């Protein structure tokens, strides 16, 4: 019977437990995703009419109307009859959102007024953009 010599080697491995750090990173990531507000662009840049007085405003809903009376929301054209469900969905996504209508100076006033009335019915604060 032979005896084997056993040497006990105590290795001091300093291991970092990464689990708490990853938990914090994921919590921060979720926090920033939930609290972020994404600005949606209308998709076109109409030539705006001039105004005597103007105020700076940062709305959450941008709606553009071109000279052909097409309503542009989030880079997609809509007919005036198709706009209400889209705006309702945007309002449901951000209930405190305010809106701005950017209408081309050659667009019909009736289209802009119809949009303003629709926004008023949906309880969305709305302004019309000018230069």
Residue ranges of domains in the chain: 39-128
Q: Where are the alpha helices (H) located in 1-131, listed in sequence order?
A: 19-35, 83-93, 109-121
Contact between 108 and 69 (Cβ < 8 Å): yes
Beta bridge partners of 72: 64, 77
How would you write the pLDDT of the chain (131 residues) with one tens digit per residue? 555 556 555 556 667 788 889 999 999 999 988 888 776 777 777 776 666 666 666 777 888 998 888 899 888 888 888 899 998 988 888 888 888 888 888 888 888 899 999 988 988 888 887 66
**CA dist., res. 69 & res. 46, Å (int):** 11
Domain 39-128 has CATH 3.30.420.270: yes
The reported pLDDT for the residue numbered 28 is 94
Its pTM stands at 0.56
Which three-class secondary structure state does DSSP give residue 7? coil
């Amino acid at each position: 019977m032979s005896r084997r010599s056993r040497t006990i080697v105590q290795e001091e491995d300093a291991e970092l437990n990464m689990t708490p750090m990853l938990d914090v990173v994921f919590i921060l990531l979720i926090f920033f995703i939930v609290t972020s507000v994404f600005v949606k662009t209308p998709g076109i840049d109409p030539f705006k009419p001039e105004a005597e007085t103007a105020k700076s405003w940062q709305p959450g809903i941008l709606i553009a109307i071109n000279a052909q009376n097409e309503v542009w929301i989030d880079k997609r054209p809509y007919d005036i009859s198709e706009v209400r469900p889209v705006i309702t969905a945007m309002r449901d996504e951000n209930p405190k959102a305010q809106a701005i209508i950017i209408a081309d100076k050659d667009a019909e006033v009736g289209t802009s007024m119809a949009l303003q009335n629709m926004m008023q019915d949906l309880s969305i604060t709305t302004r019309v953009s000018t230069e």
